[in-house]
Structure 1
């Protein structure tokens, strides 16, 4: 362990070596002298140029579900990982509405789009820095390079007589007046939460004007006045509408042909993403984003890219009582820069902050930091690191 690492200086002495977890993957831990006390950082450094290494989304098998980082890592065969995006963790403002556990931002796993982003006003987590949104992602493309980007939903619902833009994909919150699509990736949890709140107020009441249509093999199979729950069959799509979107869906009758199309469109990179996860940028091109919180200290999780996208740096702070004061977001950005990140991205922190890694020869991962919500919080998703053993 190393004490007093400078926030704006070089990589803390010894932090670049540490423990070899697997080919192309190293783990280290060190102390950082932060403004409100000593923080303790746990870091995985991933060499994306190593052909034995890959990075992908850890998820519990459904968008509307949660699991611990260690269990998701072991199930997927990862050698290490950290927790991911902020997520729908409570519904105290909407009594009786089921908590979905779904993440805030877009998610891509193994090249497959799982979901799009909720409206900015519906996110859980700290205030976003100016100029960022729930659509921001950290991703790794099919070119094996990590980068920051923004992923927008491009989708439509078509009938022989009409066309409507799609307002959401497997989201726990839909824009007011829209129609969202839910697929088998969503899981079994209730879809009612998607019609609660507004684009600017997460705590606003649930809509009283809703409608749901199930499309199977390209035709309307059933409908309901309120969103339902339960698994969605592969090949089927459930359309949930609120306000004007509900009124549009009510025009459909059983047997009517309906075509639903959706994709995520990247704002910056033409390279398709194999993996992407939501959060928000804190460092871009080596400079901290303007307007970052410099006063609120907490346990944090972050990910960064260095060496022109060929290196991925995953950081989780320790939540043990001795270190629980944590860091501010400006300190996180400076620390990620000192570790070699050109771009860095904030993920969910506090009781969610978890970093796991497999010890050499061990059959499963172990939690390397001390979560502040012990023993380990179930989360929506995470970043998994995979490496061949030889």
Structure 2
């Protein structure tokens, strides 16, 4: 064992001491026995959920990795979205995991973390891509030019997701919003749902799932530049009980009541909404259409693919290294792999995206997906007998960064 490995074993020994007495980490009363010879850097969190840590030799130095392996074929196990209670909000992974009752988890999608390019406009904290939790659609993807995060590999965009269907199989897919606003004068295309950015000349919908954050950010940027200015040609319409109940010339803020939908338009979309008057009947319909699967999704989170069919995508960045979070699957989508790198100073050199794809392939993944990294990279799990999760890696941010969402691992008897 190297000096670094000994140091990490010592760092995590307290967390995993329970292995020597009860044989498992999380859900001790529920899970079966741990593998024989379990040591401080590996263990069973619950039946169907295991953890290990290991070193990876990379071009810019040795990095330390943490891996959760989730058996989706185990009837006691499932994964779902961890979220802070609103699309436009942030919370630490550990807080979201504890609130949801998860036994383990990692951070999720990239998100609207800052607004230095738009003075006076607050960052919403909302994620870039689509999000589905408990089979319910929370939000759609922002225009690709308005995403936060590293450059995307060729042929990918903000509609890419990692999801698990009602068939309990993980897969990579794309989820596009298809929606209609039916008005007395005809139908309008709905091109946004609970998003921090709308396409130019479009109409988007905001529901109670958005939260109390201002909707101003949605009218900033353009279809080619996130840094473009904010539109001054905007209009909002509030729909309740299928009728227009209020209108406004600028984006509002504050919680949206259950059963209420706020339509926000910019440029040509604003002109379309100005034709509506109070009392008119308006119906908003929306759905997410998958490009690859006909199986409905129970869970989906945004990011971007790095590995398909066991082969890295063409054009992956092989020069910029960072602390990363990734997910992948094997066994026909029945086995999910969640990888988080350690952000301790000794290992902060990180991996390039090309190296992430290669490592996920070595771990057995057929398809793999990059999630948010850097200060967002966090892995948590619940030790035996504990009521709350512990952070397994060393995040580069201290205290733990608040993020838009995550992937939660759940165990039920």
User: Do Structure 1 and Structure 2 share a fold, with TM-score over 0.5?
Assistant: yes
SS at match of 2:162: strand
Which of 306, 313, 320 aligns to 1:289? It is 313
CA shift in 2, pair 1:329/1:46, >3 Å: same
Aligned match of 2:167: 143
Which of 234, 252, 263 aligns to 2:287? It is 263
CA shift in 2, pair 1:2/1:160, >3 Å: farther
Aligned match of 2:145: 121
With normalisation by structure 2, the TM-score equals 0.90
With normalisation by structure 1, the TM-score equals 0.95
Is 1:332 paired with 2:364? no
1:21 CA displacement: 0.5
SS at match of 2:106: strand
Is 1:103 paired with 2:118? no
1:387 CA displacement: 0.8
Which of 315, 318, 339 aligns to 2:339? It is 315
| 2-structure distance, mates of 1:374, 1:30 | 23
Is 1:183 paired with 2:183? no
Aligned match of 1:273: 297
CA shift in 2, pair 1:241/1:20, >3 Å: same
Aligned match of 1:10: none
User: Where do 1:7-156 residues align within 5 Å?
Assistant: 18-156=42-180
| 1-structure distance, mates of 2:145, 2:361 | 29
Aligned match of 2:192: 168
Unaligned runs of 5+ in 1: 6-13
Aligned match of 1:194: 218
1:98 CA displacement: 1.4
For residues 323-362 of structure 1, the C-alpha deviation after alignment (integer angstroms, 9 at most, x for no partner) is 0000001110111111111000000000000000111222
* Residue pair 1:60, 1:66 contacting (<8 A) in 2 also: yes
| 1-structure distance, mates of 2:49, 2:372 | 22
SS at match of 1:51: coil
1:4 CA displacement: 11
| 1-structure distance, mates of 2:184, 2:270 | 18
| 1-structure distance, mates of 2:376, 2:114 | 14
Is 1:210 paired with 2:266? no
1:3 CA displacement: 9.7
Which of 242, 248, 253 aligns to 2:272? It is 248
| 2-structure distance, mates of 1:49, 1:21 | 16
1:160 CA displacement: 2.2
Count of residue pairs the alignment pairs up: 380
* Residue pair 1:297, 1:328 contacting (<8 A) in 2 also: yes
Aligned match of 2:395: 371
For residues 184-224 of structure 1, the C-alpha deviation after alignment (integer angstroms, 9 at most, x for no partner) is 00000000000000011000000010000000110000000
Q: Which runs of 4+ in 1 moved over 4 A?
A: 1-5
| 2-structure distance, mates of 1:279, 1:136 | 6
CA shift in 2, pair 1:2/1:275, >3 Å: farther
Which of 232, 235, 243 aligns to 1:219? It is 243
For residues 272-294 of structure 1, the C-alpha deviation after alignment (integer angstroms, 9 at most, x for no partner) is 00000000000001000000001
1:2 CA displacement: 7.9
Is 1:305 paired with 2:337? no
Q: Which has the larger radius of gyration?
A: 2
**Which of the pair is proportionally richer in helix?**
2
Unaligned runs of 5+ in 2: 6-37
1:167 CA displacement: 1.1
| 1-structure distance, mates of 2:385, 2:60 | 38
